[in-house]
Chain A
């Protein structure tokens, strides 16, 4: 039971890192990056390959994972960031699907749909499973703390203010003479890099990855986590991930007690729950558990909008 709880906490930590990555792009800069699963996959595959094939250390593998994802983040958005936001949403969603296609088909590189097994974990060989879980919880906590620190510094710095300004009114910022493009590109790179880190953390924890893990549905999970926690708020990303895992795990147990429900139906019901959860939160608690700013400041402007 304790072991299960630790495992869940590790999962929360990994989701929290992913949600932090999303918070940089969507929460702070207002860029709808729907390619989360893709960047996560790139991170996971990068570290799996370099540690397994070239014997890199886990730390080096994770660093490379961050760089690879960040680089792809730039590549994907360089052509589309100048366009309207909805195009980027489509392109990044497509990107995630393409990553999955490549992972499924370039068997020479990724071992195809069979996935890559036996990915190393820190001292996995020397430790009992329980001990390993504890160690990895520590690793996760440390990496999460670093990510959180980076994101907090970003949010507090003038840089973060510019990003939020871009999110709230891009024209205004560009009129003020700032290149919104450069800022958005950097936000995409940082966000994608953090998502890549999340993927790498996942790979070294579970030790096995396959294309199926990185379905676009993950992106929705993380949107739910961030929205529940409070879009724009880094601590919100953390709390939201806790809520998400509680929901995912809780629903597994609750739905499993329903008689005459088969495995497919169980999975379907849980996915439905996530979708429904996101819709409900967007509708009834758009500011999440930890609002970015106190309510008084943000409410007034949305009260009366001109009719059209």
Chain B
């Protein structure tokens, strides 16, 4: 069974204007699935719909065989599906440690232990434990955002452009972190503008155009597709 299966999804922000116009999207256990496409194609909207921030108008969103479409965001998080938004993805006025505590809000076990574990896993956060999140660098902030989501030991992590605004080196490093997270057993959906870098770690990818998935294939297939190369890889 797929870890995530989206079928015929139609959704939008207003009653009249549907941003997603029929999306079919599938993620298997253990994958990193890249989601690419021009600005405004609806990539972020898809992640928000999966995370429960907007309600589907039609279609289904299944995880583990259960339809989670329209459920409350908290319910969806409890099912091990976590979303890391592109912007405003940390609590700026709270310290790194407090951010992790909120991340552990749904965790039923020993919270301070798991927070400690997370801090030792990401040394850059350990060093800034007491600092307010707003004082972090862009890369540190993204790591914190992901660490916060990882605390509940999710099955599936939805990442919206984690490397946006980072220097090329920092974004390489960040995608390495994503790769590392995936190797620890977390399936990842990765929305990225930097297609080339993302395809290096992705197993599969989708190209979105105007609210629909148009092309789908393995990372290798996409990297060698002439159309994709021309539009997204610049040659």
Contact = CB atoms under 8 A, between A and B. Distances in A.
Nearest to B73: A307
B55 to A, nearest CB: 7
A303 B15 CA distance: 6
Interface residues of B, number: 12
B89 to A, nearest CB: 14
A306 B16 CA distance: 14
A304 B14 contact: yes
A263 interface: no
A150 B13 CA distance: 39
A306 B13 contact: yes
Contact of A300 (B14, B55, B73): B14
B48 A306 contact: yes
A307 B54 contact: yes
A308 B73 CA distance: 9
A300 B15 CA distance: 6
B34 interface: no
Contacts of A301: 14
B53 A307 contact: yes
Nearest to B16: A300
Contacts of B52: 307
Contacts of A300: 14-16
Contacts of B72: 307
B91 to A, nearest CB: 14
A304 B53 CA distance: 11
B73 A304 contact: no
A294 to B, nearest CB: 15
Contact of B15 (A304, A306, A307): A304
Interface in A45-64: none
Nearest to B48: A306
A307 B11 CA distance: 13
Contacts of A306: 13, 48, 53-54
Contacts of A304: 12-15, 54-55
A263 B116 CA distance: 67
Interface of B: 12-16, 48, 52-55, 72-73
Given A304-B13, A308-B53, 13 more contacts: A300-B14, A300-B15, A301-B14, A303-B14, A304-B12, A304-B14, A304-B15, A304-B54, A306-B48, A306-B54, A307-B53, A307-B54, A307-B72
7 contacts: A300-B14, A301-B14, A304-B13, A304-B14, A304-B54, A306-B54, A307-B53
* Shortest 8 CB-CB contacts between residues of A and residues of B: A303-B15, A300-B16, A300-B15, A304-B15, A306-B54, A307-B53, A301-B14, A304-B14
